[in-house]
Amino acid sequence: MPKSRAKAGGRMGHKAKPKEYVEPDGRMKALVSERNRKMAVSAHAYVRGSTIRFYQWLEDSNRAALPEGPSTWICGDCHIGNLGPLAGADGNLAVQIRDLDQTVIGNPVHDLIRLALSLAMAARGSDLPGVTTANIIERMINGYEQAFAEEAEEEAHDPFDEMPKIVRVLMREAAGRSWEHLADERIEGVEPVIPLGKRFWPLSREEYSAIAALFEQENSRRLVTALRSRDDDAKVRVLDAAFWRKGCSSLGGLRFAVLVAVDRGKQERHCLIDIKEGVATAAPRSQNRPMPIDNAERVVEGARHLSPFLGGRMLAEQLLQKPVFIRELLPQDLKLEIDQLSRQEALDMAEFLARVVGRAHARQLDENDRKKWLAELKRNRSKSLDAPNWLWNSVVDLVSAHEAAYLNHCRHYAMAGTL
């Protein structure tokens, strides 16, 4: 461990400010506070951070019955922010599902409803009228069905000029990004250091030693050298590592950022690795198909089926006797950040994102199962809405429940004196 490491084991980066970071024994309290703050920003933000509430609703015996779709890998937390451009190991770029923590072999209906809820809340946050929400649901189911009607089983990609404008802008940005962009964005510069502060916190000595040992293993080395621009036999070594305060979904779990050097001398290149603990999923799983018991292996396997570009860059391992999944963060990996949508933008995004999710589901099914599921989706429609009644009724029920829960969250958060 470098001599400049703080007493807890983490190194004090040159850009860190005193007392901005949290020591290992204070992480949980700080993470809970940060999660509450993020979820109080907006009702849509609350939906993104409240996956468990969604599955509690699914278990409610008073809700209407939902159709049972074909057992297939699903995202399990299918909201707008969990989709975006991803780069494959070969350098290609596509919009796919980018967060698979909750992935299981389950009912694709759950992904459809969760995405519809996210889109509906985004529409409400953009002050769009209720009739637009109904139109969003229609366009969404249309996009999803298009994926099952496509003849080719291999994933098709939408032509660039047919993507919604928001997606085109993001894809153009992703295609032009380099390591320097990623480093500036994530670690505030290209120097070989992860600066401790609000986002990165010090490691214990045990954590740092375990991470260093992990990258001495051949599987981890091969993961880092898998990109097309790197030599297969290149040496890999850890330059720096820190606990990463990121997201709301895995409170209390391991989350590390690791700065790694590939090769040496003039050939040396740096890369940023994300290590995250695989935790138990809230999503109900199918009982008629086997699935990995290990939570990290489950996430990696789900990614390989749902998001090949991401799954091909992931590895399941054990760290500190806990299951973790590892991936290199690439400059091209971006997520959709939507604050305000016009009516047309909301409609176009709904159809496009649902088609992305539909392809992720459809590529796992044979032609017969795709046809059966498509026929089921076309059933139970009213004269006033070109979408399944169960989907619309679910969205109405969930929007109401989440709006009330969001207001209560804000009240308790504010009364606690943290807002």
More confident residue, 208 or 14: 208
Check whether residue 195 and residue 218 sit in a common domain. Answer: yes
What confidence tier does 309 reach under pLDDT thresholds 50, 70, 90? very high
Are both 315 and 340 inside the same structural domain?
A: no
Q: pLDDT-based confidence at 418, cuts 50/70/90?
A: low
Which tens digit of pLDDT belongs to each residue from 142-160?
999 999 987 544 556 777 8
Residues 193 and 251 in one domain: yes
Tally of helices (H runs) and strands (E runs) in the chain: 14, 12
Over residues 278-292, the mean pLDDT reads 91
Q: How confident is the model at residue 135 (pLDDT cuts 50, 70, 90)?
A: very high
- 101 and 167 both lie in a single domain: yes
Among 311, 337, 349, 359, CA closest to 154: 359
**Whether 312 and 410 share a structural domain:** no
92 and 173 assigned to the same domain = yes
- Do the beta carbons of residue 259 and residue 169 sit within 8 Å? no
Q: Tell me, what DSSP letter sits at residue 112?
A: H
β partners of residue 319 = 322
Residue ranges of alpha helices (H) inside 150-275 are: 165-175, 179-187, 205-214, 218-224
CB 120, CB 112: distance < 8 Å:
no
Final residue belonging to a domain, choices 302, 331, 360: 331
Domain end residue (candidates: 311, 331, 351): 331
Contact criterion met (CB below 8 Å) for 103 and 302: yes
Number of domains in the chain: 2
| Distance in angstroms (rounded) separating the CA atoms of residues 392 and 140 | 11
Same structural domain, 246 and 325: yes
Q: Give the tens place of pLDDT for each residue, 374-387.
A: 999 998 888 889 99
Residues 245 and 215 in one domain: yes
pLDDT for 243 equals 95
Distance between CA atoms of 377 and 325, rounded to whole angstroms?
34
Burial of 93 (0-12, 13-18, 19+ CB in 10 A): middle
How confident is the prediction for the chain on average, in pLDDT?
87
Structural domain of residue 120, as residue ranges? 42-177+333-419
52 and 168 co-located in one domain: yes
Is the domain of 218 the same as that of 255?
yes
Domain boundary at 331, 364, 380, which?
A: 331
Mean pLDDT of 257-268: 87
pLDDT of 247 reads 64
**Token pair 């032609």 in the structure block, residue:** 367
On the question of pLDDT at 345 being above 80, the answer is: yes
* Pair (324, 338) in one structural domain: no
State how far the Cα of 305 lies from the Cα of 360, in Å rounded to an integer: 7
The answer, as to whether pTM is greater than 0.85, is: yes
| Torsional sign, CA 260, 262, 264, 265 | negative
Lowest-pLDDT range of 183-187, 266-270, 372-376, 395-399 = 266-270
Same domain, 198 and 213: yes
Write down the pLDDT at residue 404.
Answer: 85
Residues 6+ apart with CB under 8 A from 330: 86, 87, 182, 313
Strand 93-97 relative to strand 200-201, pairing: unpaired
pLDDT at residue 17 is higher than 80 = no
Residues in CB range of 81: below 8 A, 6 or more apart: 48, 99, 118, 335, 336, 337
- The reported pLDDT for the residue numbered 165 is 92
